[in-house]
Amino acid sequence: MDLLILILQGIIVAATPLVFAAIGELVVERAGVLNLGVEGMMILGAVSGFAITLESGSILIGIVSAALAGGAAALLFGILTQLLLSNQVATGLALTIFGLGLSALLGQGYSGATVMALEKIHITVLSDIPILGAIIFSYDPLIYLSFGLTGCVAWFLAKTRAGLILRAVGENHDAAHALGYGVVKIRLAALVFGGACAGIGGAYLSIVQTPFWVEDMTSGRGWIALAIVVFSTWHPGRALLGAYLFGGVTVVQLHVQGLGVDIQAQVLSMLPYIVTIIVLVMISRDTLRAKLNAPACLNKSFFASS
Amino acid sequence: MIRLEARNQTSRTLLFWSPILAVGITVIAGTIMFALLGKAPIRAIAIIFLEPLGDIFSIAEIVVKATPLILIAVGLSFGFKAGIWNIGAEGQFTIGALSGGSVALALYQIDGAWVLPLMCLAGAVGGMLWAAIPAFLKTRYNANEILVSLMLTYVAVLLLSALVHGPLKDPDGMNFPESRIFHDAATLPILIEGTRAHVGFVTAIVAVAISWLVLSRHIFGYQIKVLGQSQRAARFGGFNEKHVTWICLMISGGLAGLAGLFEAAGPVGQLVPALPVGYGFTAIIVAFLGRLNPLGILLGGFVMALTYIGGESAQIELNLPSAVTGVFQGMLLFFLLGIDVLANYKIRMTQPLSRKLSE
Amino acid sequence: MKTPILLELSEITKTFPGVKANNDISFSIKPGEIHALLGENGAGKSTLVKIIYGIMQPDHGQMFFGEKLYKPSEPFEARANGIGMVFQHFSLFEALTVAENIELGINKEAASKDLNRQISEISETYGLPVDPIQRIGSLSVGECQRVEVVRCLLQKPRLLIMDEPTSVLTPQESHLLFQTLTKLSQDGCSILYISHKLEEIRMLCERATVLRDGKVVAQCSPREESARSLAKMMIGSNLKTPQPSKPAFGEKRLSVNGLSINSTNPLGTSLCNLVFEVRAGEILGIAGVAGNGQTELFEVLSGERTVDKNMVQLDHRLVGHEGPTKRRELGMCCIPEERVGHAVVPDMSLWENCILSARTRQKLERNGFLNIPASHNFAEKIVENFNVKTPSVKRDVRSLSGGNLQKFIVGREMLQNPRILVIMQPTWGVDAAAAADIHFALNELAETGTAILTISQDLDELIAISNSFAVISEGRLSEPRPTINVTIEEIGLLMGKTSHFEKNEQNDPP
């Protein structure tokens, strides 16, 4: 039983960075932009969150800086793709390469240091309930924030006028423009939000999960977040589910290694990536459904000729 | 206010000059970055961009780095032109090294002029097979090749690591995770005595020449170009998108695999877990820097190799982290993509603001 | 001025690189009147209404709305002032519901909570049945237009702009639209009605302003004019009379036998048991409202979508399973509806675009390599024979204007001496002169014995050029018959035979 609780808690901790990054990217893609730079934004969030937390001594300031760093990187992407109309795929790749390089440069002096990890919230009575208390009521605030974020984004997209406008921009930017909506402004806002989320996701890795800084510590999580968005068919609730699925694979794989099963560690480490591919194939094979769900203007440049 | 206005004709002059402009701006931005880091900026730029050109040994090292970059980038340019985004060249590179290297290890101490060609073949086929996975999943199940090829890169690197920790480990190697060092018949001949520049470079040049011919003069190059701009027009022209996808991924996978084998059988000389050092990703920048044109890629490969070698000297002389190279490469691609807008759009100054205020 | 004026335009001028789209345009609209803005494609109508609706701003000139200076910098302002617009290419979002689309098109203040109730109120008052929870993608074109109209009416507009509203409707649907518009104008709403269809303007509008080359060339009362005199104002010369049809045709060239397929697009139309043939020298016209299976039919004919071998026959060969290249080799050339991105690649030069569809018949490819000199020559030949205005065949095709581009595409296929030519929307968005050239070329090609199949939404065009005539509706084709014997009314009935429209019609009291 204790092991099971440990595994469940592990899954939630492993999934949380993915939840942040995937929910952010989901909003961006709903607005019709494909930002492949999630990995770059996450790693920038990880390094700045860690460094600022260490310097300032405040985890809150650290996390806010991580969000700012991710948002700034996304804004750079936005300026290039939305104002200068560069290719979104190439620019996203550039952002990832740049982010990995810059984070290594900035984080040079911080390797080996550690910060105080974010403390779990302890709610009297609730957290003390046997089993349930451990599974539901004993996490750090960011995990609860990730749930709140998912709920808010789902509500925003489905129920608010602003969310409707954002979806409209992703569906048909020419029509949205004809109706007088500022396509570029809306997309830039979505991008900055997505970048901030990715930044927080990265900071969760370096401040809470590990908590220390190493180069390349995101090791593909940004890309997995992108796959989760496809998996979710652009619905926030399913993105949460997707993130937990991948978190599950990662944690179970670690525990299997820990149990001393006679499989090489590297082979087990491949699992999350292979699962990602399999899930991607299963979701994509139904082309009709994919066509109906994907935002119609995803990855198309918008240029107002009038 | 500044407004963009679409040109009705892409400016070929600007298309030619923008990479050069981008390199220039990167150098300026780099100077600022070094100043901020508290390093002597002019000195740093000189170390990175000029000093490696000073002696034959450094130039040979540039050739060593440029070889895989050019090979991979030329292969990628086929797919990129067609809108097929193989981002996993790093993985194909790794598998190429692994499969070609395994042949070398299997034939350990066996001499013969056929050993090396067989290794090359195995390397190229290995890369192709690895690229065949995204090709199959894309054409059959519509799975996004960007994500699949990238996930496979992580798998490939782990696979290499698993094998050199296990079956391919040097039996006399004191349990280090390394393979045996390849015997002479399985090592690439050197071009210039006393350096590491190897015959792989000649292959890269040949690949550039053939690719240029195919892309600019052959109907397949034409198909790629059409498909990259409009899938419907390609279908109207009678071109089969799936065939083009397969061929593009096979070309890029094969060349990346070959590059991986060259790396293993050339400068490294054995299989080690750290063999993949990011050439597959840097080659993406090289491909764009070269305008997806093989001749441009040849030049772009040298520029990028220069930043590697220069970055290495900067690490030693100025105590800079190796990441500087990555920052430079990212900036370069950013600037390039940003400047490209000029080829397709004119920048116009308008004054709606003042007009709005006056009326 | 004694009569009140709702909207007054004064010396509106708008210049684009190379064209003066609007040149010193002045006219006014009275409250409650239906005012026609008449002009050929490219006369500057669309630019003008975009200026009125605040999408574009004029370079010079002023507008007054209800006697006050009106200077909208974006559509929100136009809507806040009481101006609504129904676009020619709908500004609808396919994946969203009717209610969501309507909400997006009205200003925030007007989007109240009981939107659905308001929608049904408007629907009933003006006879515009819409279902708020349906997705736009599942609606017919006529229904989409109704959504657009309802969206405008919710804002209680004082001026409603309609841009070519009937170009996508069956005659019956158009008739119903006119009833709605008449009722609106009786209720005091002015309507600016943009069209180049003369009969409907004569029927509907009280006054008309005629544009040509960006200038106002006439103001008139259309009910007092004949269609011919209106046309003369619009085009500036007399209309050409249609060519008489040729009585006898040669052997069977193209036959389609029981063609049935499911659409690959979730929002597309499936084809059901199509049967027809085209003989040498014959021009068969297929009419129909957009989205009734024309795109699917074209893809099957061009070979972009392969079907069962027996379904398509060229001369004596069964070719249903063959791709575009093989069909071209056998003598079939096709011209799709969408020019940019389907018929041509915009960022490639004229000569490169020749290779796309003419490489087999014109030998522009040798052993897999491009024959560049031959491609240049062929492009030069098209430019010369079809009077395409371009400085060089090395220019990208996107630099060509609409009319020149279509002449280039038509020329590319016609100069290959096809045995069969399939052409979709031959003159859509093309200026009158180029349209006449294309019609002339089609007739000439038929004289030389080519079998021609034309798929078009423009009934007047089809009646003018085709010998035989059929209508496609919901993926079914009516039996082809000689054009001489059919009337517009008959065609209209065939077009609307199975549409959603009639079904809804029966439920509504008149």
What tens digit of pLDDT does each residue of C436-492 get?
A: 889 999 999 999 999 999 998 877 788 888 989 899 988 889 888 888 777 766 776
CB contact under 8 A, B151 and A97: no
In C133-286, where does DSSP find H-type helix?
A: 141-153, 171-186, 198-204, 227-235
Which architecture, in CATH terms, is B40-319?
Orthogonal Bundle (1.10)
Show Cβ contacts of residue A57 under 8 Å, excluding neighbours closer than 6 positions.
none
Identify which of C116, C106, C176 has the alpha carbon closest to the alpha carbon of residue C146.
Answer: C176
Q: Is C262 on the interface with A (CB under 8 A)?
A: no
Contact between chains at A270 and B154 (C-beta distance less than 8 A) = yes
Mean pLDDT of chain C: 85
Q: How does pLDDT run across B53-95, given as a tens digit for each residue? A: 888 888 999 999 999 999 999 999 999 999 999 999 999 999 9
The tokens describing C284, both together, are: 């068969």
Domain ranges of chain B: 40-319
**Contacts A–B by Cβ distance under 8 A:** 146
pLDDT at A1: 66
Q: Is residue A304 part of a domain?
A: no
Domain-embedded: residue A186: yes
Amino acid at B164: V
Q: How close does chain B come to A89, measured CA to CA in Å?
A: 8
pLDDT for A167: 95
In a domain, A22, yes or no: yes
Query: Is C357–B237 a contact, with Cβ atoms under 8 angstroms apart?
Result: yes
Q: How far apart are CA C418 and CA C239, in angstroms?
A: 30
Q: What angle, 0 to 180 degrees and rounded to 10, lies between the N-to-C axes of helices A236-258 and A141-159?
A: 150
Q: Residue B28: which residues within 8 A CB-CB, separation 6 or more?
A: none
Distance from CA of C101 to the nearest CA of A (A): 9
Looking at the complex, report in whole angstroms how far the Cα of residue B213 sits from the nearest Cα belonging to chain C. Answer: 9
Give residue A197's domain range: 2-293
pLDDT tier, B139 (very low <50, low <70, confident <90, very high otherwise) = very high
Contacts of C359 in chain B (CB under 8 A): 219
Confidence of residue B356 (pLDDT cuts 50, 70, 90): very low
Domain contains A302: no
Looking at the complex, report in whole angstroms how far the Cα of residue B237 sits from the nearest Cα belonging to chain C. 5
Would A245 be classed as within a structural domain?
yes
Domain presence at residue A298:
no
Nearest alpha carbon to residue C426 among C389, C390, C465:
C465
Q: Identify the residue whose tokens are 């049809």.
A: C245
pLDDT digits (tens, 9 = 90+) for C134-179: 888 778 777 888 888 888 888 888 999 998 887 777 777 888 889 9
**Residue A303, domain member (yes or no):** no
CA distance B70 to C105: 52
Confidence of residue C504 (pLDDT cuts 50, 70, 90): very low
Of A283, A267, A298, A299, which Cα lies nearest the Cα of B137? A283
Domains, chain C: 7-235 (3.40.50.300), 252-502 (3.40.50.300)
Q: How many domains does chain A have?
A: 1
- Residues in Cβ contact with C100 at an 8 Å cutoff, skipping those fewer than 6 apart: A164, A168, C93
pLDDT digit string, tens, across residues B6-40: 776 677 777 778 888 888 999 899 889 888 878 88
Give C-chain residues touching B240 at CB under 8 angstroms: 323
Q: Is C59 on the interface with A (CB under 8 A)?
A: no
Q: What angle do CA C312, C317, C318 make, to 5 degrees?
A: 35
pLDDT of residue C111: 62
SS3 assignment, position A265: helix
CATH number at A174 reads: 1.10.3470
**DSSP bridge pairs for C261:** C271
Query: In b/e form, how buried is each residue of C182-210, taking b as 16+ CB within 10 angstroms?
Result: eebbeeebbbbbbbbbbebbbebbebbbb
- Which residues of chain C make contact with A161, given a CB cutoff of 8 A? 103, 108, 111
Amino acid at B51: E
For chain A, list the contacting chains (3+ Cβ pairs, <8 Å): B, C
* pTM, entire model: 0.85
